[in-house]
Chains A and B, each alone.
Chain A
């Protein structure tokens, strides 16, 4: 013990003079542990809430855009002058998209069933459709050649007992076996879907439509549409307007609501910090009075309380930032089933904001106290 005390004494003796300032800061925090901790706690919570809200605000657009891509295509390519697109159109679309979305080709003809009924048969790429149109309610996807996906309304007509059947188009016959049914509530229910390879070898007809779900915000999608139009000049590229407009509206309103909520919450949190800190500083009016009585200058006193506030603000902001990122990530996982990406750009905003709030809450009571004589404060009046 004595060894420890000696060590402490010698270190203090060797310390530079400026360390008095640091020591006062440290002791102020250590001696009134409870009050300092509650001020820090308020700061951490405020910074955490602010970080989480800002992070969510930035990220919610990307998250909701992903949800909206489940609506399927937002861009459609059709032939401009002929009913079919060029044979390499899909490859061109894939090259242009290069990972920024999914495309699925569709080729359509009116064929006849064995008893002469007209029916629409479509050729498509099932793997792509599965990714593009999540809302298709499919009992079983075709897995091998000559298997067909049959619309629920077409089923009783072509294959009431789930048996294999014939389709004919311009004198050529295709024998297919049903794999499963598709239900969408729209025109798909009346159609028969077969794989594109089967379709082309049977009819010789190339895809007439390519549906594209391009990811990104409105201007990114517009960019993709431009590139597609340039890459395949013979195709007409058009937006699926109801999806695009609905998306823009919902996104805009959600973000606006979030912004309003974020502003309210951050304001409340800031006020919480303000009242806690002001109470803390006001409580220490005796420290202030003693320092003043011992001859501390106004500048030193202001510097002391400002440094204390800044240190508190910075520490609280850093801890709160980490905590807030955690909260945002948790909300992302719980609500969107995908983590919210931490935005480091939020850190400076939170840091500056926190320090501004702490500085205000330190300076305000000090400027009130400055007018009072130290003797009055020390007498406890």
Chain B
């Protein structure tokens, strides 16, 4: 009888059920989509912030002091210690290797351009740029060896990394050089000064190279030449040498716990610190991965990134709360209306001898059924919606794990019950006589 009551109610009152069901579905849709966006927004914005460039730098442990102004090192480049290029793939072997979005080694070398080449192609406008020094009949410039988009192997995995992915704002007129070639990029300012353009040959320290593109960064690179790392090592005569490695990693905003000295932490607390993607923890893991190295966060990037990320995550979290509240209200409003409209039915049931409990259980059973159906449909639509938002705004996937389904269903049932409770309480306490006469 109970089952039949519920079944018939669904069969005969399609309009009312559809209205309330639509409200539940919409509420669950919005909830699912917002929870999906809120749990993923940190990662998405983090990736956007990574376009600002590296947030960690690895230097040799015994490094001598840099004497550089405007990106030009005024010390002999053979000075000091170096990192080993062979260690680079190990960066992809650290605990948080999935959080490393890109890295690039650099090896700056002083090279000379013969003066005849300068005057032959120069535009004739005398420009005194601080990084450039005219020495007799030749000119000193900085050549930086790096990876452009090099394929590295760690174990069986291969990955592509280099300045192209590390600094997405770099613009190249022409083509990026191949990492195994004798091709170079020339900085915009330097190119103007030397009168070089894409395709020109260039003589650097007596070696012939080809310019494949003109690089514009708005920074010190505009006065430099960028070459594959192997070329810089060859010029310097130090195979395997790397001066610095710039690493871009997805990190968790720093908090008080992150700033604690890992040496002072013990056992489980240390593990927790080590296994949280704080900039400090990733820096420590990088130091461990590369021999004789010291990794440090670039505070300008790392610190502010944390601040921006915290703000945006906080904002979306509060908005998700608002969305949950609004959907809860919509569901309870729809349920209240649906139950209120069925006073006469309640009156009839009570007149036939149904107790308060029996009436209430019919309504609650209906509410639960609708919450489940609406919940499943809403979850499906909400997942699609979250996916769409991810695609259209961030060009990347926002996926909602199916683990969320039971949670969402539970929320849907609870909200529907809470929303119906008041109306059901009022409905069961009605006097059947008045209810049947329609006077309430």
Interface residues of chain A, those whose CB is within 8 Å of chain B, are 38, 42, 45-46, 49, 52-53, 56, 60, 63-64, 67-68, 70-72, 81-83, 108, 110, 117-120, 133-137, 153-154, 157, 183-187, 190, 208, 238-243, 245-246, 249-250, 253-254, 256-258, 260-262, 264-265, 267-269, 271-272, 275-276, 278-279, 282-283, 286, 327, 331, 334-336, 380
B315 pairs with A120, CB closer than 8 A = no
Least Cβ distance of B353 to chain A in Å? 22
**B433 beta carbon closer than 8 Å to chain A:** no
Contacts of A72 in B (CB 8 A): 300
B318 pairs with A331, CB closer than 8 A = yes
Contact A208/B130 with A110-B67, A275-B333, A380-B438 known, Cβ cut-off 8 Å:
yes
Interface residues of chain B, those whose CB is within 8 Å of chain A, are 19, 23, 26-27, 30, 33-34, 37, 41, 44-45, 48-49, 51-53, 57, 63, 65-69, 74-75, 127-128, 130, 167, 169, 217-219, 296-304, 307-308, 311-312, 314-316, 318-320, 322-323, 325-327, 329-330, 333-334, 336-337, 340-341, 344, 385, 389, 392-394, 437-438
A118 pairs with B74, CB closer than 8 A = yes
A269 pairs with B48, CB closer than 8 A = no
Most chain A beta-carbon neighbours within 10 Å: one of B302, B323, B326, B389: B326
Q: Residue B51 contacts which of A186, A240, A246, A264 (CB distance < 8 angstroms)?
A: A246
Contact A253/B394 with A52-B322, A135-B299, A335-B314 known, Cβ cut-off 8 Å:
yes
Least Cβ distance of B425 to chain A in Å? 13
Contacts of A135 in B (CB 8 A): 299-300, 303-304
B330 pairs with A261, CB closer than 8 A = no
B315 pairs with A56, CB closer than 8 A = yes
B307 pairs with A70, CB closer than 8 A = yes
Least Cβ distance of A40 to chain B in Å? 12
Contact A335/B393 with A257-B316, A261-B323 known, Cβ cut-off 8 Å:
no
Q: Residue A286 contacts which of B53, B301, B302, B438 (CB distance < 8 angstroms)?
A: B438
Which of chain A's residues has its CB closest to B20's CB?
Answer: A275
A380 pairs with B318, CB closer than 8 A = no
B333 pairs with A42, CB closer than 8 A = yes
Least Cβ distance of A41 to chain B in Å? 9
Q: How far is the CA of A334 from the CA of B303 in the complex (A)?
A: 20
Contact A81/B128 with A276-B333, A331-B318 known, Cβ cut-off 8 Å:
yes
B23 pairs with A264, CB closer than 8 A = no
Least Cβ distance of B23 to chain A in Å? 6
Which of chain B's residues has its CB closest to A257's CB?
Answer: B393
Least Cβ distance of B52 to chain A in Å? 4
Contacts of A335 in B (CB 8 A): 311, 314-315, 318
Which of chain A's residues has its CB closest to B34's CB?
Answer: A261
Contacts of B302 in A (CB 8 A): 185
Contacts of A136 in B (CB 8 A): 299
B65 pairs with A249, CB closer than 8 A = no
Most chain B beta-carbon neighbours within 10 Å: one of A137, A267, A269: A269
Least Cβ distance of A247 to chain B in Å? 9
Q: Residue A246 contacts which of B49, B75, B297, B333 (CB distance < 8 angstroms)?
A: B49
Contact A272/B333 with A83-B128, A245-B169 known, Cβ cut-off 8 Å:
yes
Contacts of A246 in B (CB 8 A): 48-49, 51-52, 169
Least Cβ distance of A335 to chain B in Å? 4
A249 pairs with B48, CB closer than 8 A = yes
Contacts of B304 in A (CB 8 A): 67-68, 70-71, 134-135
Q: How far is the CA of A356 from the CA of B80 in the complex (A)?
A: 74
A275 pairs with B393, CB closer than 8 A = no
Least Cβ distance of B346 to chain A in Å? 15
B45 pairs with A265, CB closer than 8 A = no
Least Cβ distance of A160 to chain B in Å? 13
Contact A264/B30 with A82-B128, A335-B318 known, Cβ cut-off 8 Å:
yes
B23 pairs with A275, CB closer than 8 A = yes
Contacts of A256 in B (CB 8 A): 392-393
Contacts of B57 in A (CB 8 A): 185-186
Which of chain B's residues has its CB closest to A283's CB?
Answer: B340
Contacts of A49 in B (CB 8 A): 322, 325-326
B67 pairs with A241, CB closer than 8 A = no
Q: How far is the CA of A186 from the CA of B127 in the complex (A)?
A: 29
A42 pairs with B329, CB closer than 8 A = yes
Contacts of A137 in B (CB 8 A): 299
Which of chain B's residues has its CB closest to A60's CB?
Answer: B315
A268 pairs with B337, CB closer than 8 A = no
Which of chain A's residues has its CB closest to B317's CB?
Answer: A335
B69 pairs with A120, CB closer than 8 A = yes
B30 pairs with A268, CB closer than 8 A = yes
Contacts of B219 in A (CB 8 A): 240-242
Q: How far is the CA of A52 from the CA of B57 in the complex (A)?
A: 42
B341 pairs with A260, CB closer than 8 A = no
Least Cβ distance of A101 to chain B in Å? 17
Q: How far is the CA of A250 from the CA of B318 in the complex (A)?
A: 19
Q: 28 A-B Cβ contacts within 8 A?
A: A42-B329, A52-B322, A60-B315, A68-B304, A71-B301, A83-B130, A118-B74, A119-B67, A120-B67, A120-B69, A153-B66, A185-B296, A186-B300, A240-B219, A246-B52, A250-B45, A256-B392, A257-B37, A260-B37, A262-B319, A264-B30, A264-B34, A267-B30, A269-B329, A271-B26, A271-B330, A282-B341, A335-B318
Q: Residue B311 contacts which of A42, A63, A154 (CB distance < 8 angstroms)?
A: A63
Q: How far is the CA of A85 from the CA of B127 in the complex (A)?
A: 15
Least Cβ distance of B38 to chain A in Å? 9
B298 pairs with A272, CB closer than 8 A = no
Most chain B beta-carbon neighbours within 10 Å: one of A81, A187, A245, A254: A254
B300 pairs with A242, CB closer than 8 A = no
Which of chain A's residues has its CB closest to B311's CB?
Answer: A67
Least Cβ distance of A356 to chain B in Å? 18
Contact A253/B48 with A83-B130, A241-B218, A261-B34 known, Cβ cut-off 8 Å:
yes
A264 pairs with B323, CB closer than 8 A = yes
Most chain A beta-carbon neighbours within 10 Å: one of B49, B127, B300: B300
Contacts of A286 in B (CB 8 A): 438
Contacts of B323 in A (CB 8 A): 261, 264-265, 268
Q: How far is the CA of A256 from the CA of B344 in the complex (A)?
A: 48
Q: Residue B75 contacts which of A118, A271, A327, A380 (CB distance < 8 angstroms)?
A: A118
5 new A-B contacts, CB < 8 A, other than A83-B130, A246-B48, A250-B48, are A184-B300, A185-B296, A241-B217, A245-B52, A268-B323
B169 pairs with A241, CB closer than 8 A = yes
Contact A276/B337 with A52-B322, A119-B67, A242-B53 known, Cβ cut-off 8 Å:
yes
Contacts of A67 in B (CB 8 A): 304, 307-308, 311
Q: How far is the CA of A335 from the CA of B297 in the complex (A)?
A: 25
Least Cβ distance of A361 to chain B in Å? 11
Which of chain B's residues has its CB closest to A327's CB?
Answer: B322
Least Cβ distance of A329 to chain B in Å? 12
Q: How far is the CA of A271 from the CA of B19 in the complex (A)?
A: 10
Least Cβ distance of A338 to chain B in Å? 11
Which of chain B's residues has its CB closest to A269's CB?
Answer: B326
